Amino acid sequence: MSLKIGGSKSKTKTTSNTNSSSTTTPIVPQWGASLAQDVAGRVGGLVGLDPNSGVAPAHGLQTQAAAGAGSLNSQGSPSWLSPHLDAATPFASGGKAYDFMGKYLDPYLKDVVDASAADFDANAGQVRAQQALDLAGSGAFGGSGAALTQSMTEGELARGRASTLSGLRSKAFETALGAAAGDADRATQARIANAQTALQDRAQKVGFGFQADENQRANVAAQAGLGASLRDIDQQQRQAPISSTQQLVAMLSGLPIGLFTGEQKTGSESSQGTSKTTGTTVNAGVSHPTLGA
């Protein structure tokens, strides 16, 4: 028996080329597409919007407040206060009794003292006449006794006259002085009251001036505040298209449109290739010798 081995070579080579193309088309529900198109249209309308048109100008009240604020006095004394500051301080001088004495003394002397003196002189004349009659009746008119009596009478009359008139003049002076002192005191009080009234009037006018300034400042502040509020309203109105569009975009982004969206895919595929095979084949066998050979 004998073993025989034999063979042949072989080799295989394969080449393949594949080309494919596909198109995917989303399927969006009509309501979602309409919403997206509408919102896109709103956004597109804002593209040509002038940015300055979204800024509100100063309101008329703000402009008016600015003009009013410019006229306010920021430092120093306001012009209307100068006359009050430059004015002399009111002066109150005291009244003097002698300024009023003549008004009371002269009439009293004339109407009372002079009249009393005239009455006294008239009575004195009567006394002299009666005494002369008495002396003539007693036969002593031309003697030394009569002269002595007349001298004594004249002395008494003079003293009486002087005493009476001095008393009247003293009373006249005291009465006039009391009345004049009262007038002087009232004149002093009146001058003090006038000075106080002048100061109060000046202070009141200054107070009115400051109050007018405060009122003007309050009016300016009110105008500025109201103007700012109205301008803010105008600003919001100008920004409303942009704000509403932003809200629409945000709301559209939050809608679950993707849950209702499908897709359709179409395409084609082609392939091309070559194949070549080479190899080695092995053969094995056993031969048996012929018995008896």
Does the structure show a pLDDT above 60 at 21?
Answer: yes
Does the structure show a pLDDT above 90 at 141?
Answer: no
Q: What is the pLDDT of residues 246-280, one digit of tens each?
A: 998 888 888 887 777 777 777 666 656 555 555 54
In whole angstroms, what is the distance from residue 258 CA to residue 26 CA?
10
At residue 290 the predicted structure's pLDDT band, cuts being 50, 70 and 90, is: very low
At residue 71 the predicted structure's pLDDT band, cuts being 50, 70 and 90, is: confident
Point out the least confidently predicted range of 43-57, 63-77, 139-153: 139-153
pTM of the model: 0.46
Q: What is the pLDDT of residues 156-177, one digit of tens each?
A: 777 877 777 777 787 888 888 8
Does the structure show a pLDDT above 80 at 60?
Answer: yes
Distance of CA 52 to the CA centre of its chain: 32
Give a three-class secondary structure readout of the chain.
CEEEEEEECCEEEEEEEEEEEEEEEEECCHHHHHHHHHHHHHHHHHHCCCHHHHCCCCCHHHHHHHHHHHCCCCCCCCHHHHHHHHCCCCCCCCCCCHHHHHHHHHHHHHHHHHHHHHHHHHHHHHHHHHHHHHHHHHCCCCCHHHHHHHHHHHHHHHHHHHHHHHHHHHHHHHHHHHHHHHHHHHHHHHHHHHHHHHHHHHHHHHHHHHHHHHHHHHHHHHHHHHHHHHHHHHHHHHHHHHHHHHHHHHHHHHCCHHHHCEEEEEEEEEEEEEEEEECCEEEEEEECCCCCC
Does the structure show a pLDDT above 70 at 147?
Answer: no
In whole angstroms, what is the distance from residue 94 CA to residue 189 CA?
8
Q: State the pLDDT at residue 226.
A: 93
Q: State the pLDDT at residue 236.
A: 92
